[in-house]
């Protein structure tokens, strides 16, 4: 019984610390998505490829709302696709924040 309780307590602790870690930074899965999947057009270092440079200096003219909208709805008549079918509005916002502030690692 004690063992079960301890296991539950440990799990709760693990979940809480995971949630805290995610609140402080961009979730690892989203960073991976930006680097790998946005990266297939914008380059893994985001300096541009077939798509333009999306590092903070290049995105300076965007505010967070506009950038989130671009992520969600894409840019018509260009290769930038709408990510709304895959991403929630909250995730798009986190991605926009991440792009505007740059990678702090």
Partner 1 sequence: MKWLYGAVLAAMLTGTAQAQSVVATGDLGLVVERGSGSLLLVDQSDRASLTRIKGLGDLSHASLVYSPDERFAYVFGRDGGLTKVDLVEKRIAKRVLQSGNAIGGAISDDGSLVAVSNYEPGGVRIFDAETLEMVADIPTGSKTIGLVDAPGKRFVFTLWDAGETWIADLNTEEPKITRITGMGNNPYDALITGDGRLYITGLFGEDGLTALDLWQEDPEPIRVLPGYGRGKAELPVYKMPHLEGWARAGQEFVLPAVGHHEVLWVDGDTLAETGRTRTHGQPVFAMARPDGRQVWVNFAHPLNNTIQVIDTVTKQVVHEFKPGPAVLHMEFTPRGNEVWISVRDAGKVMIYDTRTFEKTGEIDAESPSGIFFTARAHRTGL
Alpha carbon distance 43, 95 (integer Å): 16
Task: By CB under 8 A, name the binding residues for partner 1.
Answer: 32-33, 36-37, 39-41, 43-45, 47-50, 74, 79, 81-83, 85-86
Residue 74 beta carbon to partner 1: minimum distance, rounded to whole angstroms: 7
- DSSP conformation letters of 37-54: IIHHHH-TTSS-SSSPP-
Nearer to partner 1, 36 or 88 (CB): 36
Residue 81 beta carbon to partner 1: minimum distance, rounded to whole angstroms: 4
Strand positions, DSSP E, the chain: none
Residue 89 beta carbon to partner 1: minimum distance, rounded to whole angstroms: 16
Nearer to partner 1, 11 or 75 (CB): 75
Alpha carbon distance 82, 36 (integer Å): 17
């Amino acid at each position: 019984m004690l063992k079960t309780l301890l296991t539950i307590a440990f799990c709760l602790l693990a979940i809480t610390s995971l949630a805290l870690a995610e609140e402080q930074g961009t979730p690892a899965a989203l960073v991976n998505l930006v680097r790998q999947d946005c990266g297939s057009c914008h380059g893994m270092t985001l300096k541009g490829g077939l798509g333009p440079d999306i590092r903070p200096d290049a995105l300076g003219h965007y505010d967070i709302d506009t950038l989130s909208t671009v992520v969600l709805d894409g840019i018509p008549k260009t290769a930038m696709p709408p990510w709304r079918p895959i991403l929630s509005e909250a995730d798009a916002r986190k991605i926009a924040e991440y792009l505007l502030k740059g990678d702090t690692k």
